[in-house]
Chains A and B, each alone.
Chain A
Amino acid sequence: MSNTLLQFNSLAQLGQALSARKLSATELAQDCLKQIQDQQALNAFVHVDAELTLTQARLADAAIAAGTAGPLTGIPIAHKDLFVTEGWRSTAGSNMLKNYVSPFDATVVRKLREAGCVSLGKLNCDEFAMGSGNEHSAFGPARNPWDPSAVPGGSSGASAAAVAAKLVMATTGTDTGGSVRQPAALCGVSGIKPTYGAVSRYGMIAYGSSLDQAGPLAANAADLVELLDTMSGFDPRDATSAEQCHSVANAPGRIRSEYQSTNAQYAAQGAQPLKGLRIGVPREYFGDGLNNEVAQAVEAAIAQFEALGAKRVDISLPRTQLSIPAYYVIAPAEASSNLSRYDGVRYGHRSESYTDLADMTARSRAEGFGPEVQRRILIGTYVLSHGYYDAYYLQAQRLRRMIADDFQTALTTQCDVIMGPVTPTVAAPIGHSQDDPTADWLADVYTLGLNLAGLPGMSIPCGFGRGASGRQLPVGLQIIGNYFDEGRLLAIAHQYQQTTDWHQRIAGQA
C-alpha cells in the first residue's frame, strides 16, 4: 500500500477528503501507523500506541459523521517528546524520563486534541531539547529523509523528519535557540516559532524558560496557520503566557484573522502583492562561514520576494556573533535551574546503588542525563555560582537587551521583516561533531538572537545545496517579524509559496 498522505499537498485538501468521507480518519490513521513502521529506519518515533491513536481517530470519524468536525478533525499529527501526554510516555529524549507517564496533557497537546487532530505518538528529539542534530537522544539519532546519513537538525529533528517523510501531516516542536526553524530548514519543511508568550509552555518540559516557545511544523505556511492559531492563546497555567498581543486578546482566531486580512490586502495589489513591504537583509548573516550554495538559494528567494513587489533594505544587526556567548550563558543557566527538579525522588531515574540521599541524587542524575545535558548543567551552575554571576549571567542579560534593541531599531525604523539564512550549511553527516561538543553551537548564529529577543520567526524551504554525501539537501529561508507578527509572517511566506514549489518537493522524489 502506498502512503496515502502523498496524495495531499495541504491540510485543507486532506480536510476536504475527510469531510467528503472519501477516506475515514481511522483508515488514514491505520495507514500512518503502517508508514511509521515501514520507515522505522528514520528513528523518528520513540513511542507509538496504536490503540490510543485509533481511539482518537474513531472520535474524529464520529465528529465528521455528526457534522461537528472542524478544519483539523482527523488530521494526523505527532508531538515532539518534549510535550507531556497522558497515555503516551513522555521522555524528553532522556534516560532520566525513560518510563515517565504524565498524569496530564500539555496545553498544546490538549488544544490540538480538542480540535480533532489524531496523534500518532511521540517524536524523537535531542535530550531536553539540547542539541542541533537530534544526535543527543537516549533513543539514538533520528535521520534526515533526504539523506539517511545526514542529521535532520535539532532539537526538533524528528518533528521535521516526520513531516518531510510524510509520516504525518504536521508536528509540534519547540524552539529555544532555533529548534523549530533549523530542523525545518534542514528537512525542507515549513516551521514557525511564535512570539514568546503566544503559546502556552504548560506541560512543555522546561529547558530555558525565558527562551522556550512551542511551534508547529508542516509542509507549507497555510497549514501552519491552522495549527499555530489553534495552539496559541493565553493560558493561566503558564506564568509568562501573554494575555494581550498589543491590543488584541491572545486567543485562537488572532493569527488566522491577521493572516487572512494581510492576504486580502496583498491580493488587492495584483501582480505586485508585496508592494510596499520592506525586507531587511542583515549583512552579518552573509559573512564568513556561510556556505555558497546556501547563500545563493537565500539570495534567489529574496530576489523572488522583490519580484513580488517587496523592497530590499540593507541592515545591520551588529551583535549577531555575540548572541552565541549570550545564549550559551543564559540557556545553560536556566537549564541548570530547571533540571534541578530531577532528584531521583519524585519521578525519573533512581540509581540502584548509593550511600545516602545526596549520593542517591548525584548518582541518579549522572546516570540519567546524557553528556550534552551534563555539560550544560555544569556550565549553567558555574555561571550562576558565587563570584561569577555578575561577570557571566548579568553581563549576558545586559547583552541580551542590546541584541533585542538592535532588532527593534531595524524593525521600527528600517524594515518590516528581516530575511536571511537559517543555517550556515545544509544538513551535516551524523557523527560530524563527535569530537568537539561545541562545534554545533557556532552554527546556531542566525537563530539564537530571535529567542533572546523573544521575536517570532519562521523557516520555509527555498532551494537545495550539496551535502557531504553528494546528495542534494534542502536550504531554508528565515523570515523574522516584530512581536506578535505571526499572521503577517505566514501571509508573506504564503505569497512566496504561491509562486514557488520548493515546499512541494518530496524527499526521495525531488
Chain B
Amino acid sequence: MALTDQEVVRIARLARLHLTEAQQTQAKTDLNKILGIIQTLQAVDTTGVEPLAHPLAAVTEVSLRLREDQVTEISSVERREALMANAPGSAQGLFLVPKVLE
C-alpha cells in the first residue's frame, strides 16, 4: 500500500508544511520507504494487549499529576516583555499575525 500524490498533499496540509512540487515528489518517495519499514508491525498479533503510552505504566500504576491551581509566574510588564521578546511580531503585549477577518 503506497501513498499517492493526493495523500501526500493531504498529509502536508495537516502538518502545516508548505511543500513545493519537487518536495512533494521527494516526500512521496521518502514516506513510502518509511512506510515499508513501519508496516512490518502490522503482522504482529497483539490481540488482547493494552496499548502502552507511559513507559512506567508497564510495571506500575501511573496517573498524571495535576498541579495546584495557583499563580506561579511573575506578573509584570517587564516579565511579559521578556517572554514576548522572541516573537516575530508584537505590539502592546499582543502577538501580531496577518489579518484574519476581511
Chain A positions within 8 Å of B, measured between CB atoms, are 99-101, 103, 195-197, 210-211, 236, 239-240, 242-243, 319, 322, 324-326, 328-329, 336, 340, 343-350, 354, 356-363, 365-366, 369, 374-375, 377-379, 381-383, 385, 391-392, 394-402, 404-405, 408, 436-438, 441-442, 451-455, 483
Give the secondary structure class of A's interface.
Answer: helix
Check: B87 CB closer than 8 A to any chain A CB: yes
Beyond A236-B65, A324-B37, A374-B27, 12 additional contacts (C-beta under 8 Å) are: A240-B54, A343-B16, A344-B88, A345-B95, A358-B16, A379-B35, A394-B51, A395-B41, A396-B41, A399-B44, A400-B51, A437-B33
Contacting pair A374 B17 (CB below 8 A): yes
* A326 CA to B64 CA, complexed, in Å: 23
Check: B2 CB closer than 8 A to any chain A CB: no
* A358 CA to B13 CA, complexed, in Å: 10
* A379 CA to B15 CA, complexed, in Å: 9
Chain A residues with CB below 8 A from B54, complex form: 210, 240, 454
* A395 CA to B3 CA, complexed, in Å: 20
Knowing A375-B34, A382-B11, the reply to whether A101 touches B18 (Cβ < 8 A) is no
Closest to A482 in B: B59
9 residue pairs, one from A and one from B, having the closest CB atoms:
A454-B55, A397-B51, A350-B88, A347-B86, A401-B52, A404-B58, A398-B46, A362-B18, A325-B41
* A197 CA to B55 CA, complexed, in Å: 9
Check: B91 CB closer than 8 A to any chain A CB: no
Can you offer 7 A-B residue contacts whose CB atoms are under 8 A?
A100-B86, A365-B16, A375-B27, A379-B35, A385-B10, A398-B51, A404-B58
* A445 CA to B95 CA, complexed, in Å: 44
Contacting pair A340 B46 (CB below 8 A): no
Contacting pair B46 A379 (CB below 8 A): no
Contacting pair B52 A397 (CB below 8 A): yes
Chain B residues with CB below 8 A from A359, complex form: 18
| Nearest CB of B to A195, in Å | 8
Contacting pair A354 B59 (CB below 8 A): no
Check: B77 CB closer than 8 A to any chain A CB: no
* A350 CA to B97 CA, complexed, in Å: 10
Closest to B81 in A: A103
Knowing A103-B83, A375-B34, A454-B55, the reply to whether A346 touches B41 (Cβ < 8 A) is no
Contacting pair B58 A405 (CB below 8 A): yes
* A248 CA to B46 CA, complexed, in Å: 34
Knowing A210-B54, A385-B14, A483-B59, the reply to whether A399 touches B34 (Cβ < 8 A) is no
Residue among B15, B51, B89 facing the most chain A CB atoms (10 A cut-off): B15
* A392 CA to B46 CA, complexed, in Å: 12
| Nearest CB of A to B26, in Å | 8
| Nearest CB of B to A387, in Å | 11
| Nearest CB of A to B25, in Å | 13
Out of B11, B16, B53, B64, name the residue touching A397 (CB < 8 Å): B53
Tell me how many residue pairs across A and B have CB atoms closer than 8 Å: 175
Out of B13, B34, B39, B46, name the residue touching A438 (CB < 8 Å): B34
Contacting pair B16 A401 (CB below 8 A): no
* A375 CA to B27 CA, complexed, in Å: 7
* A117 CA to B15 CA, complexed, in Å: 40
Give residues 6-55 of B contacting A (CB, 8 Å): 7-8, 10-19, 23, 27, 30-31, 33-35, 37-42, 44, 46, 49-55
Contacting pair B52 A325 (CB below 8 A): no
* A396 CA to B42 CA, complexed, in Å: 9
Contacting pair A348 B86 (CB below 8 A): yes
Chain B residues with CB below 8 A from A329, complex form: 38, 41
* A319 CA to B41 CA, complexed, in Å: 10
Chain B residues with CB below 8 A from A442, complex form: 37
Closest to A99 in B: B86
Chain B residues with CB below 8 A from A103, complex form: 82-83, 85
Chain A residues with CB below 8 A from B55, complex form: 196, 210-211, 400, 404, 451-455
Chain A residues with CB below 8 A from B18, complex form: 359, 362-363, 365-366
Residue among B33, B53, B56, B64 facing the most chain A CB atoms (10 A cut-off): B56
| Nearest CB of B to A50, in Å | 23
| Nearest CB of A to B23, in Å | 8
Chain A residues with CB below 8 A from B52, complex form: 397-398, 400-401, 404
